[in-house]
Each structure stands twice: as C-alpha cells, then as structure tokens.
C-alpha cells in the first residue's frame, strides 16, 4: 500500500514533467517587447564576450557557437555611431543546403534602443539556447526551481555560527543578469571590458 505523502510526491513529479512537456510542445509566443528585451541582452552579451573590429565608420562584434547537428550559430552586431545598430543571428551549415546562411533573427535599433523597423524572427530552439546564456544560473532550470532562497539567520545562530558567516548569509546574492548599460544598445561602445576572441 502506498502512503498519502508518497502518492502526492509522485503526482507532483508527473505534474512538473507534464508541464515541461507542454512548454516544449507549445512554447509561449513572444511579442515585440519580449524580442526587444532579448535583442538588447544579446547586444550586451556580444559587447562583453564577442570579437570586435572597427572600420572607418562602423564597429562590429561577432560571437559564434558550434551546433551539435553541424554548422555554426552566429551572432553579429554592426554599429554606426549615433545612427543605428543592427543585430543578426544566423546559422551556417547543419540543415542549410544550397544557401550560405539561414537568418533566425534580425533587428535594427536606434540610439535610444528602440526598433527602427519591424524586426524579423523565426521561432525555434535557438532562442531558448541563447536565452539560457542570458539568464542567471539559478533560473536555467526555471521549470523546476523558482530562484534562490536565503538560509534563515536563526538557523545559523542556533548552531552557533560565527557572526561573519551570519552576515554573509544575510547579504544579497549578486545578480548575474546583464546590467542595463550592457543590455542597452545606446551604450554599446562604452564597455571597458576586453573582448574575447572567438
């Protein structure tokens, strides 16, 4: 005979699994605001970690990843100072046959970080893969974990922990999301971090 607690545990486990399957089969659709936020965060990611070069009037950032099924996923930004910033996410190789590349996402931003024209996007797992890079670590398994929780100070004090450890436990956890400066296209060229060659 199965206990009530064990039955509830099994039901909860399967409810979480079924919800995850539902989210994979029927992913939530993003509106233009979601794509704008995502695009700005990608710009920050490229600014911080992408290879960069400059021509007479334009600055470029480039970041690439190998794909498990072959080919590369390429993120590239072209910035014309004070005028516009173009972001493209494209794929080469893999399922691409007979063409040079397949564009997943293309957007142009004005100096204030707003879209200059309607962005182009194709839904796909590429978005989830890149979003995982942009999320804080504790949210990467968001279908199960809701975020970090602090250890109660009373528990630490109850076990006679030194005062320094209690102070550290009460300190807020540093956020690993890109800062507004990193994610804002108008501040694109102001980062002092050295780019990493890819």
What are the boundaries of each domain within the chain? Answer: 31-135+180-190, 141-176
Share of the chain above pLDDT 70, in %: 70
Digit-coded pLDDT (tens) for 9-65:
999 999 989 988 887 788 778 889 999 999 999 999 998 888 998 888 899 999 999
Asked whether the predicted pLDDT for residue 87 surpasses 70, the reply is: yes
pLDDT at 43: 92
β-strand partners of 64: 74
Q: How many other CB atoms are there within 10 angstroms of residue 79's CB atom? A: 23
- Which segment of 68-82, 94-108, 138-152 scores lowest on mean pLDDT? 138-152
Dihedral of alpha carbons 139, 141, 145, 149, sign: negative
The predicted pLDDT at position 158 comes to 53
Helix residue spans in 135-190 (DSSP H): 153-158, 163-170, 180-183
β-bridge mates for residue 63, sequence order: 75
Q: Other C-beta atoms within 10 Å of 82: how many? A: 8
Is residue 89 a contact partner of residue 73, using CB atoms and an 8 Å limit? yes
Mean of pLDDT over the chain:
77
Task: State if pTM tops 0.75.
Answer: no
């Amino acid at each position: 005979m199965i206990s009530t607690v064990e039955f509830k545990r099994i039901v909860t486990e399967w409810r979480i699994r079924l919800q995850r399957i539902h989210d994979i089969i029927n992913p939530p659709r993003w509106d233009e605001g979601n794509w704008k936020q995502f695009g700005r965060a990608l710009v920050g990611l490229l600014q911080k970690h992408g290879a960069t070069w400059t021509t007479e009037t334009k600055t470029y950032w480039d970041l690439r990843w190998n794909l498990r099924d072959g080919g590369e996923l390429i993120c590239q930004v072209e910035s014309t100072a004070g005028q516009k910033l173009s972001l493209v996410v494209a794929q080469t190789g893999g399922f691409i046959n007979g063409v040079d590349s397949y564009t997943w996402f293309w957007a142009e931003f004005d100096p204030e970080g707003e879209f200059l024209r309607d962005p182009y996007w194709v839904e796909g797992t590429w978005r989830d893969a890149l979003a995982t890079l942009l999320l804080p670590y504790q949210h990467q398994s968001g279908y199960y974990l809701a975020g970090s929780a602090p250890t109660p100070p009373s528990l630490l004090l109850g076990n006679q922990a030194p005062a320094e450890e209690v102070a550290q436990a009460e300190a807020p956890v540093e956020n690993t999301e890109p800062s507004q400066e990193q994610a804002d296209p108008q501040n694109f060229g102001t980062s002092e971090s050295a780019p990493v060659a890819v």
